[in-house]
Amino acid sequence: MPISEQTHDIGLQIAEKHGLTVYDAMIVASALIARCTTLVSGDMQHGQLFDGRLKVRNPFQ
């Protein structure tokens, strides 16, 4: 599924700011745009907070 220009732009900013891969940053950007508060990921740091409102939960921790 194609992503929007907004998702792309936000994702690149997140990748640069937080040192994420572009792929992971696009997932974070999509979750932020969708107004999610929790993102479950086995690849990202447990407890990491994005934009003061999206918290990563690693199910393996």
Positive/negative CA dihedral, 19, 41, 7, 55: negative
Interatomic CA distance for residues 54 and 11, integer angstroms: 14
Predicted local distance difference test score (pLDDT) of residue 15: 98
Amino acid type, 27? I
**DSSP states of 31-55 as a string?**
HHHTT-SEEE-SSSPTT-EETTTEE
pLDDT in tens, 3-61: 999 999 999 999 999 999 999 999 999 999 999 999 999 999 999 999 999 999 999 98
**3-state secondary structure at position 26:** helix
Predicted pLDDT at 2 = 85
